[in-house]
């Protein structure tokens, strides 16, 4: 026997990044961040403590017991730093200060201490591809060509009196903004209030590493790194392919650029290696081969990355609609993407698992069935399917309640800069997409779908605020809310709680090898996990009809059902949206 069996009790946290604390012969070194479940908080929409309509840090602190009850290990906070909020905090004007609307540094310290007291770790969003244009570095940088901060950002001379190239920013329009004061353009891959930092400048890297160290010394437990795959640009700045008749696609020239791995290795040796952290890179444009470098098992860069292939599976071939495609991606297509990542990362890199976040629509609306008849069952099915795969699972606030998309009926509802700018560019200015189609697209995939306030109870404004919420509450809050979920033993909340507990108790869920099953099925997503002699069989019916499925027909007496979203089973079939997992010792 080569492997030391892993204790069935909750596993002790490995003290050092990537250090094998359990089995020394297992190909998979143990680490606490592999065994953890992460819960993402979008602070602006989580809980408002003072009635100004904006979620805040005391609001989070007040609800920590709820999260401890759910059983998650780590909270990732979307940015809480000082920001003019052009992109809801992803435009930072001071990395060492808290956004006024969210509270004070004392509120932060209190939240951190309370969280730690409850056994919850805190992971901060690290937004260092760009700053706000109101950051002092940029205010200095734009003053003159000779300013000592000039090279903190990416400045280029006009080309034939126009922008240096045809790149479109991720939030519509040109990725270049002309600055009168010095007659040059600066690059902004996102809004013009988010100028890109110049990572080639060692001073910029020093500033970032110092700032990260400052937060680590405060006692935080990790970083989620915003668009970290974009910090190194192709030095040739070539024009991109034009698909919508307006601008060029910059992604091949800004994602996974020539120095990105070098910079992350430097970050690892200068900062990350000195602390026991969870690090996850948001890796726009990442391929599996790139992911194997970012999240390699030697631990020279990051613990894991978020890829986008499965959440982009609904994009259309329509060159104009592109990322706004509203069609539901088919299960076989999703499965082939997810299985491919499972198999290819095995033994090479660690993965992350998610259905949604603050940039994506609600999971149950996009991948499941948010009709009253099937919402609860399909939300549980999706959770089962994802949480029992290999990788670290992420839950986005409200997902554990089965919160749903908004239905957009008018542009007055938009809060997100991405939606506002796209509407202007495609519907108003160029009339390339008609308003009804665009509203349909937004209802399916816009980011505001997941940014509506957390639904705590059935009182006015869902218990999120006593004032006027910054973004409207989803009307279904009287039915879908945390209070109702906590009162119902069959709720989605308790199902997630159970999935999280199962992960803590069963090493096979964390470390077992992933083996796809029934890959020809159009209706059943099934797979197996294997660790030593044990097997975990998982099958999920992705349709609202009863479907044939024989994989549980001959399970031995010793098999134990770990979880299922239906009360009783029928032989040879899975009921509508049924999910079932059976452990064979
Ligand atoms: C990431 C964030 C997103 C933000 C963008 C620019 O994709 O998740 O919310 O708008 O980066 O910072
Ligand atoms: Ca508030």
The DSSP secondary structure of 474-524, one letter per residue, reads: PGGGGTS-HHHHHT-TTSHHHHHHHHHHHHHH-HHHHHPEEEEE-TT-SSE
Ligand nearest to the CA of 85: 1
**Which residues have CB less than 5 Å away from ligand 2 (the ion)?**
48, 50, 52, 54, 56
3 state SS of 116 = helix
Structure tokens at 545: 């009809």
Please answer whether residues 226 and 125 qualify as being in contact, where contact means their C-beta atoms are separated by less than 8 angstroms.
yes
Residue whose CA lies nearest to ligand 1 atom number 2? 226
User: Domain containing 232: what range?
Assistant: 32-129+204-505
Residue ending a domain, choose from 444, 471, 505:
505
For residue 356, tell me if it sits in a domain: yes
**Residues within a 6 A CB radius of ligand 1:** 87, 90, 127, 190, 226-227, 282, 358-359
Mean pLDDT of the chain: 94
Looking at the domain assignment, is residue 486 inside a domain? Answer: yes
Cβ pair 310, 334 in contact under 8 A: yes
Nearest residue (by CA) to ligand 1, atom 9, is 359
Q: How many structural domains does the chain have?
A: 3
- Classify residue 24 as exposed, middle or buried by CB count within 10 Å of its CB (0-12, 13-18, 19+): exposed
H/E segment holding residue 567:
none
Are 76 and 38 in contact by the 8 Å Cβ rule? The answer is yes
Among protein residues, the one with the nearest Cα to ligand 1's atom 3 is 359
Q: Give the residue carrying structure tokens 């992705």.
A: 542
So what's the pLDDT on residue 393? 98
- CA 495 – CA 464 distance, rounded (Å): 23
In this structure, the number of other CB atoms found within 10 A of the CB of residue 252 comes to 13
Task: Compute the distance from residue 62 Cα to the ligand 2 centre, in Å.
Answer: 12
| pLDDT over 50 (residue 198) | yes
Ligand 2: centre distance to CA 58 (Å): 8
For residues 100 and 155, membership in a common domain is answered with: no
Kindly report the CATH number assigned to the domain that includes residue 568. Answer: 2.60.40.1180
From the alpha carbon of 171, which atom of ligand 1 is closest? 10
> How many Å lie between the centroid of ligand 1 and the Cα of residue 91?
9
Final residue before a domain boundary, out of 474, 505, 536:
505
Find the 84 Cα to ligand 1 centroid distance in Å: 15
CA 19, distance to chain mean position in Å, is 26
8-state DSSP, 162: B
Ligand at minimal distance from the CA of 52 is: 2
- The reply to whether 167 and 211 lie within a common domain is no
Inter-residue contact 22 to 5 (CB < 8 Å):
no
| Shared-domain flag, residues 248 and 110 | yes
Nearest CA to ligand 1 atom 4: 90
The pLDDT confidence band at residue 273, using thresholds 50, 70 and 90, is very high
Give residue 425's pLDDT: 95
Is residue 226 annotated as a catalytic residue, yes or no? Answer: yes
**Count of beta carbons in the 10 Å neighbourhood of residue 468:** 10
Which position among 56, 91, 133, 226 bears the catalytic label? Answer: 226
Q: Residue 342 in contact with residue 351, Cβ under 8 Å?
A: yes
Which pLDDT band, with edges at 50, 70 and 90, does 26 fall under?
low
Q: Is residue 457 part of a domain?
A: yes
* Tens digits of residue pLDDT in 429-473: 999 999 999 999 999 999 999 999 999 999 999 999 999 999 999
CATH number where 175 lies: 3.90.400.10
Judged by average pLDDT, the poorest of 1-5, 72-76, 303-307, 393-397 is 1-5
Q: How far apart are the first and last CA of the chain?
A: 16
Q: Within this chain, do residues 473 and 559 fall inside the same structural domain, yes or no?
A: no
Pair 279, 174 in one domain: no
**Nearest-atom index, ligand 1, CA of 130:** 12
Relative to the CA of 189, which ligand 1 atom is closest? Answer: 6
Do residues 142 and 95 make contact, with C-beta atoms less than 8 angstroms apart?
no
Burial zone of 530 (CB within 10 Å; 0-12 exposed, 13-18 middle, 19+ buried): middle
Helices (H), 55-104: 57-62, 64-70
- Residue 181 main-chain phi, psi, to 5 deg: -50, -45
Task: Pick the closest to residue 454 from 43, 45, 39 (CA basis).
Answer: 45
Q: Give the pLDDT of residue 317.
A: 80
pTM: 0.95
User: Nearest 5°: phi and psi at 439?
Assistant: -65, -40
Checking if the pLDDT of 21 tops 50, the result is no
| Claim to verify: residue 400 and residue 427 sit in the same structural domain | yes
Q: Give the active site residue among 282, 290, 416, 418.
A: 282
Nearest to 201 by CA among 149, 269, 262: 149
Residue 19 placed within a domain: no
Confirm whether 434 is domain-assigned: yes
415 and 374, same domain (yes or no): yes
Given the CA of residue 418, which atom of ligand 1 is nearest to it? 10
470 and 51 Cβ atoms separated by less than 8 Å: no
Q: How far is the CA of 61 from the centre of ligand 1 (A)?
A: 24
Mean pLDDT of 505-513: 98
């Amino acid at each position: 026997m080569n492997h030391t069996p892993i204790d069935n009790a909750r596993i002790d946290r490995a003290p050092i990044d990537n250090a094998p604390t359990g089995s020394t012969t297992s190909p998979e070194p143990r680490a606490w961040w592999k065994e953890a479940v992460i819960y993402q908080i979008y602070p602006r929409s989580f809980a408002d403590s003072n009635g100004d309509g904006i979620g805040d840090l005391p609001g989070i602190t007040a609800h920590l017991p709820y999260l401890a009850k759910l059983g998650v290990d780590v909270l990732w906070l979307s940015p809480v730093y000082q920001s003019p909020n052009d992109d809801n905090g992803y435009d930072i004007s001071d990395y060492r200060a808290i956004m006024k609307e969210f509270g004070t540094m004392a509120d932060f310290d209190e939240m951190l201490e309370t969280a730690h007291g409850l056994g919850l770790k805190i992971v901060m969003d690290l937004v260092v591809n760009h700053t706000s244009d109101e950051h002092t570095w940029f205010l200095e940088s734009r003053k003159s060509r000779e300013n000592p901060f000039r090279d903190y950002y990416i400045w280029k001379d006009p080309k034939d009196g126009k922008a240096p190239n045809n790149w479109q920013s991720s939030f519509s329009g040109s990725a270049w903004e002309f600055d009168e004061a010095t007659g040059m353009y600066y690059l902004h891959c996102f809004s013009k209030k988010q100028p890109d930092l110049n990572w080639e400048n060692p001073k910029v890297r020093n500033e970032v590493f110092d700032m990260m160290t400052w937060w680590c010394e405060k006692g935080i437990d990790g970083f989620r790194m915003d668009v970290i795959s974009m910090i190194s640009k192709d030095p040739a700045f070539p024009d991109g392919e034009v698909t919508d008749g307006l601008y060029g696609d910059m992604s091949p020239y800004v994602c996974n650029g020539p120095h990105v791995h070098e910079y992350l290795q430097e970050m690892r040796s200068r900062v990350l290696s000195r602390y026991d952290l969870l690090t996850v890179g948001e890796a726009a444009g990442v391929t599996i081969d790139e992911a194997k470098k970012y999240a390699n098992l030697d631990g020279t860069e990051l613990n894991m990355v978020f890829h986008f292939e499965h959440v982009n599976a609904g994009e259309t071939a329509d060159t104009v609609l592109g990322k706004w495609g509203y069609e539901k991606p088919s299960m076989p297509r999703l499965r082939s993407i997810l299985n491919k990542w499972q198999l290819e990362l095995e033994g090479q890199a660690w993965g992350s698992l998610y259905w949604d976040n603050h940039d994506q629509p609600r999971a149950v609306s996009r991948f499941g069935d948010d009709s009253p008849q099937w919402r609860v069952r399909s939300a549980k099915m999706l959770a089962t399917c994802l949480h029992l795969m290999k990788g670290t699972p992420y839950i986005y606030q409200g997902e554990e309640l089965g919160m749903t998309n908004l239905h957009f009926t008018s542009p007055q509802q938009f809060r997100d800069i991405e939606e506002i700018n796209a509407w202007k560019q495609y519907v108003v200015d160029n009339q390339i997409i008609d308003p009804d189609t665009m509203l349909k697209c937004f209802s399916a995939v816009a980011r505001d779908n997941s940014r509506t306030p957390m639904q705590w109870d059935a009182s006015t404004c869902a218990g999120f605020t006593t004032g006027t919420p910054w973004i409207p509450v989803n009307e279904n809050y009287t039915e879908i809310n945390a209070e109702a979920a906590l009162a119902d033993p069959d709720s989605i909340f308790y199902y997630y709680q159970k999935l999280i507990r199962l992960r803590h108790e069963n090493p096979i869920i964390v470390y077992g090898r992933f083996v796809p099953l029934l890959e020809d099925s159009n209706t059943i997503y099934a797979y197996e996990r294997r660790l030593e002699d044990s097997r975990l069989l998982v099958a999920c019916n992705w349709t609202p009809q009863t479907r044939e499925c024989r994989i549980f027909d001959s399970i031995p007496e010793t098999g134990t059902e770990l979880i299922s979203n239906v009360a009783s089973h029928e032989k040879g079939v899975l009921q509508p949206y049924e999910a079932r997992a059976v452990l064979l010792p």
